Amino acid sequence: MFVHHKPANTGCRRHTTGPRAGTTAAGLYSGHIMAGWTEELARARLHFVTGKGGTGKTTLAAALGLALADEGKRVLLVEVEGRQGIAQAFDTAPLPYAEQRIAAGAGGGELRALHIDAEAALLEYFEMFYNLGFAGRTLRRMGAIEFATTLAPGLRDVLITGKIKECVGRTDAHGKHIYDAVVVDSPPTGRVVKFLDVTRAVTDLAKTGPIRSQADGVVRLLHSGQTAVHLVTMLEEMPVRETMEAVAELDGAELRPGAVLVNRVRPPRLPAEHVATAAEGRVDAARIRDDLAAAGVELPDATIDGLAAETVQHAIRLDAEQRARDQLAETDLPILELPESTGGVDVTALYELAESLTESGVS
Ligand SMILES: Nc1ncnc2c1ncn2[C@@H]1O[C@H](COP(=O)(O)OP(=O)(O)OP(=O)(O)O)[C@@H](O)[C@H]1O
Ligand SMILES: [Mg+2]
Residue 2 lies inside a defined structural domain of this protein: no
> What is the pLDDT, as a whole number, of residue 36?
81
Q: Are 51 and 243 in contact (CB under 8 A)?
A: yes
Q: What is the pLDDT along the chain (363 residues), one digit of tens a residue?
A: 567 777 665 433 333 333 334 444 333 444 444 568 999 999 999 999 999 999 999 999 999 999 999 999 999 999 998 789 999 999 999 988 889 999 999 889 999 999 998 777 777 776 666 665 666 666 666 666 666 666 566 777 888 898 999 999 999 999 999 999 999 999 999 999 999 987 766 766 666 666 677 788 899 999 999 999 999 999 999 999 999 999 999 999 999 999 999 999 999 999 989 999 999 999 999 998 999 999 999 999 999 999 999 999 999 999 999 999 999 999 999 999 999 999 899 999 999 999 999 999 999
Report which of 135, 133, 129 is spatially closest to residue 206, judged by C-alpha positions.
129
Residue 336 lies inside a defined structural domain of this protein: yes
Residue 110 bridge partners (DSSP):
74, 104
**From its phi and psi, is residue 78 left (phi > 0), alpha (psi between -120 and 50) or beta?**
beta
> What is the pLDDT, as a whole number, of residue 3?
75
CB atoms near residue 82 (< 10 Å): 11
Ligand 1 atom nearest to 188, measured from its CA:
25
**CATH number of the domain where residue 337 is located:** 3.40.50.300
Nearest CA to ligand 1 atom 10: 56
Residue 192 lies inside a defined structural domain of this protein: yes
Residue 298 lies inside a defined structural domain of this protein: no
User: Which ligand is in closest contact with the Cα of 56?
Assistant: 1
Q: Are 158 and 202 in contact (CB under 8 A)?
A: yes
Ligand 2 mean position to 317 CA, how many Å? 26
Number of separate domains in the chain: 1
258 C-beta closer than 6 A to ligand 1: no
Residue 246 lies inside a defined structural domain of this protein: yes
- The C-alpha atoms of residue 345 and residue 361 are separated, in whole angstroms, by 22
DSSP summary character for residue 137: H
Ligand 1 mean position to 334 CA, how many Å? 21
pTM for the model stands at 0.86
Helices and strands of the chain, counted as H and E runs: 15, 10
Ligand 2 mean position to 64 CA, how many Å? 14
The Cβ-side half-sphere exposure at 77, using a 13 Å CA radius, reads 30
Ligand 1 atom nearest to 53, measured from its CA:
25
Residue 180 lies inside a defined structural domain of this protein: yes
* Residues within 5 A (CB) of ion ligand 2: 57-58, 85
Ligand 2 mean position to 239 CA, how many Å? 15
Q: Are 157 and 201 in contact (CB under 8 A)?
A: yes
58 C-beta closer than 6 A to ligand 1: yes
Its domain, for residue 30, covers 8-269+332-359
The length of the chain is 363
Residue 296 lies inside a defined structural domain of this protein: no
300 C-beta closer than 6 A to ligand 1: no
Residue 326 lies inside a defined structural domain of this protein: no
φ, ψ for residue 102, nearest 5 deg: -120, -15
Nearest CA to ligand 1 atom 26: 54
